[in-house]
Amino acid sequence: MSTIWILIPPLIAALLAGIRTPRAWVPGITVASCLVVLALAARTAWVVAAGGSVTADLGPAWANWVAVDGLSALILLLIAFVATTAAIYSIGYLAHGDLTLVKLRLYHANFNLFVFSMLAIPLIAEPTLVWIVVELTTLASALLVSFENTREALEAAWKYVVLSLMGAGFALFGFLVLFAAMRATGGETYTWAGLVAAAPRMPPLLMQTAFLLVLIGLGTKVGLVPMHTWLPDAHSQAPSPVCALLSGVETTSILYVILRFFPIMQAVPEAHAETWALVLGLISVGTAAFLLLQVHDYKRLFAFSTVEHMGIMLTAVGLGASAHYGAMQQIVSHAVTKSFCFFAAGATLLAVGTREIVAVRGLIGRAPAAAAALLLGGLGITGAPPLAVFLSEFAILKAGLATGHYVATGLLAVFIVIAFFGVMLHVNRMVFGTPEAAIPDAAPEHAAGHSSLPISCALALVLSAVPVLVLGVYVPAPLNALLQQAAAALSR
Amino acid sequence: MSDATRQLVENLNALAAGLFLLTSFGIVAMRQARGCLTLFIVQSLLLAASAALLGLRFGSGHLYGVALVNLITKPVIVPWLLRKVAPAGLYTRREVDQVLNIPTTLLIALALAIGAYFLGVPLSRAVGMEYQGPNVPIGIAGLLLGAFTLTVRREALPLLIGLLAMENGAFLAGILIAHDLSMLVELAIATDGLIIVFIVGVLVRAVAQQVGTTAVGELASLKEGPARRSAPEAGP
């Protein structure tokens, strides 16, 4: 089977959503496309986990440009899963009456293009082409972030586009320098695998420059502090299913590109790539943990939690090979839990019509389903046992202590605890707090009073709750094999 | 190629790169939005010229292709796309209140260009090509000045030009150090630039309709802190 076929369904779906299909079909087309993608991605992941090789059958000249190993298969599977639940969630979330057909088509066309560009990131192995699809993720999601067309949403989209593209400019130069470094050794194949092979002969100065440019450039899009300023805006203003995609898998698929540098950089120990990861990661976790305490908007709460989680992943990569398994586990648990959190936040928004934390009190009485989901999401994302994130964070901390990184591990643990209290303080008040005398209506953004959750939203919540609950107690054997292969891909 | 011709080609390339640096300075400091666009077109023409000259120098047909792609997309399609999608008032805007005044801006830009030189020369040497033109240091300067433009400007058009100028800078270095990059990649990058113009144009039009300004840099209602614009008051 040719892996590249995974890219076809979203393209067809984007086209169909854009032309004259009946209104009722448009959301269904997206869901169907995502289900096909999920099936193909699961099959690819299954084959890779079983030790088989999946290469694209493209003919000799292009043969190296598409390659899937454990790490890319893992990212592919996560993107497909979150895209599917987000597509299902979108049906009910956008079902309110005042949405014009043009807007609906715009949403679904962009949604599918966004999924297409994200799926292409792990599939393509040629770094400059990866850079282009990273650009496409920004451009395809820009109009999704500004979808609500409010002043705030436009501001968020603008910051998102300008800062992401600014970072991408630096990253482009980094990839060109990397190409020059490879050519200086007479290397022929400019792919991730070719770079790992050529790395010991490449000029260290060029590799170091390329690494830092890409770390800073793409780190902007991952949301690493201090380049994170756009992230809470964009990840809170977009419609909730889009937030789930942005926060759950877009950030990690960009982080994946940075992770591809670590096996290459191990050939130049004097570049200290892992120290960079450790320091930048800890700064991100720490800053996000404290910023979490002062948010006013519950979607921003989860957005800052994404900054925190990206920091945890990067820290784990910096802790060395024994923490890599935990880092991969964290990527999985973050993707499933964070998308669940944004679905819960969307359900809350549908029920109360405001994003202000202070305006939501005693949600458990008004909208029990949304309240329960919000509570599970809050507990899940902050690493309460026995949920998925707990297991992965525990694995990282354990590996950190075992390798003697006491200071870094201690700081990481403290920041994780602060973030736990930061998130749960707000969530607890929203769910159980006593309603104040009168809740002032802060200009409802949606028609409030959807006290019953749309069925498709409930279905998406249930589907994404399954891995959040299951992966906390049990990691299935094929997934375990995939995680181990992915972790191994981070070392030479 | 005779030594004299090679010398001439190298000197012409150095001239093109030097003028490229001047346009980068101009884009940071130019107040008129339309002037920024003109400077960007001149800059793209200089990039194309440098690509063609390097193509001559290395005998690489590939670089002629890069020059041609640049010649078609940036001076022709970018202004056309902008006219199609961006709001009408975009060109006529003039920025009176920049974040920094112009002498300060230029002084910082100069410091960035000098920094780019010290970064670029060792980099250029490490690549170890037989001809080390000024493309790498000036390309880095273009990249940094483009990023600097993004931080000091508030109007939509100069900000968009800043983004595209960053890409031009990366490319000016790229045509020397990565001159045998696949043509497919070059075409994809050029297309990507056009998509940037389209999406940014659509966004700016939405901002102009919804907020009534094209000074998108002044949008700043999303932030943390106690004084939130839309925070509800506590009780009646």
SS3 A46: helix
Do the Cβ atoms of B166 and B228 come closer than 8 Å? no
What are the chain A neighbours of B174 within 8 Å (beta carbons)? 172-173, 176
Query: Residue B229: pLDDT band by 50, 70, 90 thresholds?
Result: very low
Q: What pTM was computed for the model?
A: 0.94
CB contact under 8 A, B207 and A183: no
* A223-232, A437-446, B216-225: segment of lowest average pLDDT: A437-446
SS3 A176: helix
Q: Where are the beta strands (DSSP E) in B32-178?
A: none
Q: Which residue of B has its CA nearest to A61?
A: B182
| Element holding A67 (H helix, E strand) | strand A67-68
The residue with tokens 């150095």 is B14
Contacts of A448 (CB under 8 A, 6+ apart): A351, A352, A353, A354, A441
Given this model, what pLDDT does residue B221 score?
Answer: 79
What are the chain B neighbours of A354 within 8 Å (beta carbons)? 232
Q: What pLDDT digit, counting tens, does each position of A64-110 carry?
A: 788 888 999 999 999 999 999 999 999 999 987 678 899 999 999 99
| Element holding A54 (H helix, E strand) | strand A54-55
Nearest CB to A128 within list B159, B185, B222: B185
Q: Does A451 have pLDDT greater than 70?
A: no
Q: What pLDDT digit, counting tens, does each position of A13-52 carry?
A: 999 998 878 888 999 999 999 999 999 999 999 999 988 7
Cα A71 → chain centroid = 15
CB contact under 8 A, A179 and B233: no
CB contact under 8 A, B163 and A162: yes
Angle ∠(A143,A144,A146) on CA atoms, nearest 5: 65
Query: Residue B100: pLDDT band by 50, 70, 90 thresholds?
Result: confident
CB contact under 8 A, B199 and A142: yes
| Element holding A55 (H helix, E strand) | strand A54-55
Q: Is B227 exposed, middle or buried (0-12, 13-18, 19+ CB in 10 A)?
A: exposed
Q: What pLDDT digit, counting tens, does each position of A216-229 carry?
A: 999 999 999 999 99
DSSP classification of residue A378: H
Query: Residue B232: pLDDT band by 50, 70, 90 thresholds?
Result: very low
What are the chain A neighbours of B210 within 8 Å (beta carbons)? 149-151, 154
Do the Cβ atoms of B148 and B28 come closer than 8 Å? yes
Residue extents of the structural domains in chain A: 3-126+251-488
CB contact under 8 A, A442 and B232: yes
* A147-156, A195-204, A266-275, B93-102: segment of lowest average pLDDT: B93-102
Closest CA to B142 of B121, B173, B119, B118: B173
A30 CB-side CA count, 13 A:
31
Given this model, what pLDDT does residue A96 score?
Answer: 73
DSSP classification of residue A404: T
- Quote the tokens at residue A170: 């630096």
The mean pLDDT of chain A is: 91
- Min Cα distance B170 → chain A (Å) is 5
CB contact under 8 A, B231 and A437: no
What are the chain A neighbours of B230 within 8 Å (beta carbons)? 356, 442-443
Nearest CB to A176 within list B163, B174, B225: B174
Helices (H), A260-367: 261-265, 273-292, 298-318, 324-352, 363-366
Q: What is the mean pLDDT of residues B33-37?
A: 90
What radius of gyration do chain B's Cα atoms show?
20
Query: Residue A59: pLDDT band by 50, 70, 90 thresholds?
Result: low
Q: What pLDDT digit, counting tens, does each position of B123-171 carry?
A: 999 988 888 889 999 999 999 999 999 999 888 899 999 999 999 999 9
